[in-house]
Structure 1
Amino acid sequence: MTTTTSAEMFERELRKLYHAELEILDLHGDLAAAAASDEVEKLFTGHEEETVEQINRIERIFEEFGTEPQAEGSPVMEGILAEKNALVSIEAPAELRDLDVLRTGMMNERFEITVLDQLLLLGSELNLTSSVITELEANRQEAKAALVKMQAIVERRRTK
């Protein structure tokens, strides 16, 4: 598929974000199961409701464009899923297992934030409605907050 306009790029990236969020429902469950500590496990189990709302926001954006929600895979997301699949099958001491889980979670949140930054930029250029921008900004704020929580755990462990 060729992308020649900002609108086409916006739609493509929205489909990638939608795919990522759908995958995240399983990803976070798997990361929670792979976590060694209660703190890291709770971080990922507590994110499901938020992810469902993020999916709902994306679906509302598709609705505003008058299109059915469509997911489009991305090599980056596929790589994150491959990382998760590799780490859940590896035996490792608890502290190392948590670091793997957190690393994978942080890669995911950074991917989401990057796609959302692009969508917000394109949305501004395309003069999209404030409701679309608000939905995207809400998802970005939640992804950023999740990343900050993960980074805080890593930082606490680094400075022990």
Structure 2
Amino acid sequence: MTVENTEDLFVEGLQHIYYTEQRLLDALEELESTSSTEELQSGFSEHRSETEEQIERLEQVFEAVGQEPEAAEDPVIEGMIEAHEEFVEQEPSDGALDRFNIAAGQKSEHYEIACYGNLTPLADQLGLDEAADLLEQNMREEQEELDTLAEMGEEFDYGRIEA
């Protein structure tokens, strides 16, 4: 896609976050299955349900701009997923993997917040008030999840990581 104007820039960004959310839907299942505590498993499961709703909102945004939902590969999220796969292959202790999963979740939340933070003002500039509201809602949910993960990281028992 050649970006020639604000709408093109918006649609391209929308395609990237749509791809990101779809990839994270699967990644959250992996984070849930590789976590050893019920609290982490439950958190990733709940966020997976929230991500499904966010994908639906993104599809509404595509509709608002007269576009069919289309995903464009995002190398940033691919790199994050690859880093997790490589860490898991090292067969770390449960505690180390749990802490890594928390950090992986935080990284993806920061990235998603940045994406939504860039798309929302573009939607505003294009006069897409409903789209801006939907994107803002997704961004608020990502911020709440980041806050939850940050708290989990602060409360993490590092004694669980075997030396």
TM-score by length of 1: 0.92
Q: d(CA) in 1 for partners of 2:93 and 2:81?
A: 22
Do residues 11 (structure 1) and 11 (structure 2) align?
yes
Q: Deviations over 1:84-138 (max 9, x none)?
A: 222332311222111111111111111110000000121122222x211111011
Instruction: Give the corresponding residue for 1:139.
Output: 138
Flag structure 2 segments of 5+ consecutive residues without an equivalent.
none
Do residues 109 (structure 1) and 109 (structure 2) align?
yes
Q: d(CA) in 2 for partners of 1:157 and 1:22?
A: 28
Q: Give the aligned residue type for 2:69.
A: P
TM-score by length of 2: 0.91
Native 8 Å contact 1:30 1:88 kept in 2: no
Give the superposition deviation at 1:67.
Answer: 1.4
Aligned-residue Cα RMSD (Å) equals 1.7
What SS does the corresponding residue of 2:156 show, helix, strand or coil? helix
Alignment coverage as a number of residue pairs = 159
Native 8 Å contact 2:121 2:132 kept in 1: no
What SS does the corresponding residue of 1:47 show, helix, strand or coil? helix
Q: After the TM superposition, which parts of structure 1 deviate over 4 Å for at least 4 consecutive aligned residues?
A: none
Q: d(CA) in 1 for partners of 2:156 and 2:68?
A: 44
Q: Give the aligned residue type for 1:156.
A: E
